[in-house]
Amino acid sequence: MDTDKQTVLVVDDTPENIDVLVGTLKHDYHVKAAINGEMALKIVQASPPDIILLDIMMPGIDGYEVCRRLKADYTTKHIPIIFITAKIGIQDELMGLELGAVDYITKPISPPVVKARLQTHLALHDQNRELDRKVRDQTQQINKTRLQIIQRLGRAAEYKDDDTGLHVIRMSQYSHILGLAAGMSETEADMLMNAAPMHDIGKIGIPDSILKKPGKLDDNEFDIMKTHCEIGAEILGEDTSELLQLARVVALTHHEKWNGDGYPNGLAGEEIPRVGRIVAIADVFDALTSARPYKDAWTVEDAVELLQSTSGAGAHFDSQLVTLFVDALPEILEIKEQFE
């Protein structure tokens, strides 16, 4: 496989349309195809493409809904989407652009037009990524200071049962690694790393007698402990800052479980924001491999075994993200050693 080629995902419920687009693009790009919205979302989650050509009128989940879901997900919102459709009224075009699409191409398609639009938007996307990199480099000290402040906020919540404060540093770094593996851009993964330390900020509102209890919590104590997610969301509030918005999502959802048995809202599967699912794995792995007042540290092997077990992958955690986490274990262990 030519690793220099960029990947295009073509989504259309008509095989003939897919054949035309694949034939047009296959010499210049890696082309993936999906015949409906559900398949498209699965492909993007498994291996994010560089750009998406998306039909609007499809049975089941239409193109608008696919776009809406991808743009609402912090791990996929950066992917450019071009709608390909015969339906191109002014209101339709406005709706697609408001949802976050970058362009429209009308059917029947013209191969030269498709190639030109792809080249334009991929070049623009690359320019934006390079601009993001330059901005990050130029504001490195500011970002470092901001991260230190945020880590200290997270440490304030963790201090009662982790007086080193290193848990929030490790798990935020793990979240960054897993975010990149899941397809987030560098900028988005950096933002997740900055937001993750605030995942347990709500513990500030939990009594010491519960947080520091050496034994197992009883049902009433556990019910109180579970409120730290909603307390954290209230502390972070409804802010215009994208970072704090992300931190609020993480605080509220990192204890939800893939099978719906988590808290505070009993969300299941794709209902759980993917950033919450990412932080859940990072948080649990670090908690398992760290000593706490109520337990000894687990070995890395035992922690990985739990993540991959029937009670872990597909039950507590998103199994796809567990696979990505295990694949990234060498990087994870470098961070673990660095901040031991």
- Domains of the chain (ranges, CATH numbers): 7-131 (3.40.50.2300), 140-338 (1.10.3210.10)
Averaged pLDDT for residues 69-88 = 89
User: Which distant-in-sequence residues (6+ apart) come within 8 Å of 103 by Cβ?
Assistant: 82, 83, 117, 121
Helices (H), 159-273: 166-181, 186-195, 208-211, 219-226, 228-236, 242-253
Please provide residue 7's backbone torsions phi and psi, each rounded to the nearest 5 degrees.
-105, 130
Q: What are 178-191's pLDDT values in tens digits? A: 999 999 988 899 99
Give pLDDT, residue 142.
Answer: 61
pLDDT band at residue 234 using 50, 70 and 90 as cut-offs: very high
User: Residue 1: is its pLDDT beyond 80?
Assistant: no
User: Residue 161: is its pLDDT beyond 60?
Assistant: no
pLDDT band at residue 146 using 50, 70 and 90 as cut-offs: low
